[in-house]
């Protein structure tokens, strides 16, 4: 619940970058796992 304070102290670019990277990695892993199991 401390997001507003951290956003004001730190630039939000780093956190958004990490979130986007995590989402991309999760999507890639899910697609890779589906391909392995289907083939």
The predicted-structure confidence for 2-21, as pLDDT tens digits, reads as follows 566 655 666 678 999 999 99
What are the angstrom distances between the C-alpha of 32 and each of 5, 9, 10, 18, 21? Answer: 37, 38, 34, 21, 16
Report the Cα 37 to chain-centroid distance in Å.
24
Q: What is the pTM for the complete model shown?
A: 0.54
> For residues 28 and 26, what is the distance between their CA atoms, to the nearest angstrom?
5
pLDDT of residue 39: 76
């Amino acid at each position: 619940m401390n997001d507003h304070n951290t956003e004001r102290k730190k630039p939000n670019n780093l956190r958004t970058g990490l979130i986007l990277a995590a989402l991309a990695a999760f999507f890639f892993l899910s697609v890779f796992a589906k391909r392995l199991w289907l083939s």
